[in-house]
Structures are given as C-alpha cells and as structure tokens.
Amino acid sequence: MLVLGIETSCDETSVALVEDGCRVLGVRTFSQVKSHEKYGGVVPEIASRIHVNVLHYLLEDLFQEIKIKPDDIGLLAVANRPGLIGSLLVGISFANGLAFCWNKPVVGIHHLEAHIYGAFMEEGKQPQYPSVALIVSGGHTQLVQVDALGEYTLLGNTLDDAAGEAFDKVAKILGLSYPGGPVIDKYSQVGDPGAWSFPRALLEDSSLAFSFSGLKTAVLYAVKGYGRKISQTSSTIPERMVKDIAASFQRAVVDVLVIKMERALEKTRARSMIVCGGVAANSELKSAMHAVSNRKNVPLFLPPLFLCTDNALMVAGLGWHKRHQATSFILETYSNSPINK
C-alpha cells in the first residue's frame, strides 16, 4: 500500500510517499529556519502561515517527480499530536481535504511515535523488544520503553526545558545563530569540554526525569560574570571562551542523557536502544551512545540524519502500520499528548 505522509507539527513542512511502511518513493521538505532565525526560535503564527503557503506546492512537486496519481494512493497519514496547535491544524485540514476529494482513508499519527518509528525504517535491521527509546529534540526529551509498535511506557520526561530548546537558548546567550544545536556542536569540536564546570541535574539516583533549565542558567551566569569583568565599551565574548562554554555545555547535556539511558537499560533489561529526534544528529551524543551500546552490549539503532529531524517519511511509514485505525475524517488535534495514550 502506498501511503502519503504529511508533517506540519512545528516548523518543518513535509510530504512523503512510502510503500508498505519502509520503501521510500520520495519526500519533499521545506525548512523554515530562515524565517525564524531572527527571533531565535519558532514563532507559531509564522510557522502556520508558511505551512499554508507551501504545502500544496510540495505535494505537486512530489507527484510530478514520482509520476503518480491520487488513485495510486491507498492511505493518508498526518501528524495530529503533539505540536504547535496552529501548525497541526494546517496539516490536518490539508489531509482531510485530500481525503474527501480523493475518497481515501486518513489516519492520525503521534509525532513522537513517528520519531521512534524512524529507527524501524531500515529493512532487515529491526530493534528487538523491549527497547528503550531516547527521544531528544527541540520540544521533547523523553525515555520510553517500547514493547511493540503502539505499546509504550513513559519512563522519564523533562521537567522544564527540552535538550534541543536548551541548545537554542544557550546559542542565543553566546551570540550564535539559530538553530543552536548544529552551531554548538561545531564549536564544541574545537572547544575544551573541561574548561567550565556546569551542573548535571540528575535528580535522585533512581530518577529517569530530565532538567536542563539550571544548566542553561549556569551558562547565562558564566557569560554575565565575564561581562562584569570587562569594560563597558567592549562586551564581546572572546571566541575562545565561546568555544569552551559551548563544549562544556554540550558535554553536560550528553553526560545527563548517557547516564539516564544507562539507568533505563538497567531498569528495563532492554534488548535494544534507540536514539531519535533532531538532537540525535549531535556528533558527541552519537559517539557517546555508541559507547553505551558497547559497554552494555545492547544494539543501538540511530536513524539516519534525514530521519532525525521532522519529516513526513516517518509519518507515512508508521501510517502503514496503523492503517486499521484509519477513518474518513480526523477531528482530534492535541498540542500535548503522552506517547502512551
């Protein structure tokens, strides 16, 4: 069955065609980074308007490339939770309109479950159950026990900032560009991760929850403390200091993610581990998780880069597995929705 996936949960506009859950026919994704970078983060109203403006062009371009007709499509899958409510409504309205015009069923997809499914899209290499998935992105940082597709137990969530959000805010504090993840990763490769002693908020020993707000504040105080030491006429942070703070901050984030993953593996006796979401593209995190995999002798499944960031491929692929849940029209849309509900 050929599934058309639609993803508009935040600031990436994406459509994709996937057959039988894993055979990729094509994808078109429009990045809104240039529209949001001057604000240092995603502006919901702008994101929604851009989705409206570009969705139909992306779909037309995809159809022209693949040379297919609506009759060839068996199902529409659209992200309907969680995310920016305005952005989600654009994608759902678009999917409902197509479903009505083409007389096709449509199924709603949980955005975070789709991220997990990205690790299942490589044929011949499937995570064994139970698995522990670390979903780490701009809006979410969660540990989830995966017993099967559709069967999840939330092990730990962030109590404040998500890891990706902390990267963006720290980049802004340091005067770096948006989004913060890639630029901090780049600076970290030439900085000293031991130059600054930033806190690791691990909470109590058994906790699988996350907290990155204090770490972000520690970076802010470090920069402000430097500012008080220099003259009023020069407030520029030396590049060496920026690199060292970036490296020290990134190391603190990775350390927390690694320790929490190890705790989750011990608690669940998982047979595989998954790291997914936009921050999964971070070079230090990938290296550290490979090291965990080797130490624990638990296979690591890391989606390729194009499946880490928000995309319609993972939505379409998961949609095929949920085809039995399809309806003629989707009404439900949630800005917040636990993955195990």
What is the average pLDDT score of the chain?
93
Q: How many CB atoms lie within 10 A of CB 186?
A: 14
pLDDT digits (tens, 9 = 90+) for 29-81: 999 999 999 888 999 999 999 999 999 999 999 999 999 999 999 999 999 99
In the predicted structure, residue 341 carries a pLDDT above the cut 70: no
Co-location of 81 and 101 in the same domain: yes
Answer positive or negative: Cα dihedral of 26, 333, 274, 172. positive
Domain tally for the chain? 2
Co-location of 16 and 71 in the same domain: yes
Is 333 inside any structural domain?
Answer: no
Is 176 inside any structural domain?
Answer: yes
Hunting for tokens 């691990």 — which residue is that?
A: 202
Co-location of 235 and 163 in the same domain: yes
Residue 331 dihedral angles phi and psi, to the nearest 5°: -105, -35
Question: What is the layout of strands, in order, in the sheet containing 300-301?
Answer: 151-157, 141-148, 131-136, 272-276, 300-301
In the predicted structure, residue 231 carries a pLDDT above the cut 70: no
The whole-number pLDDT of residue 233 equals 40
pLDDT digits (tens, 9 = 90+) for 290-334: 999 999 999 999 999 899 999 999 999 999 999 999 999 987 899
pLDDT band at 20, cuts 50/70/90?
very high
Is 264 inside any structural domain?
Answer: yes
Distances from the Cα of 78 to the Cα of 208, 304, 326, angstroms: 30, 21, 11
Give the CATH number, domain containing residue 39: 3.30.420.40
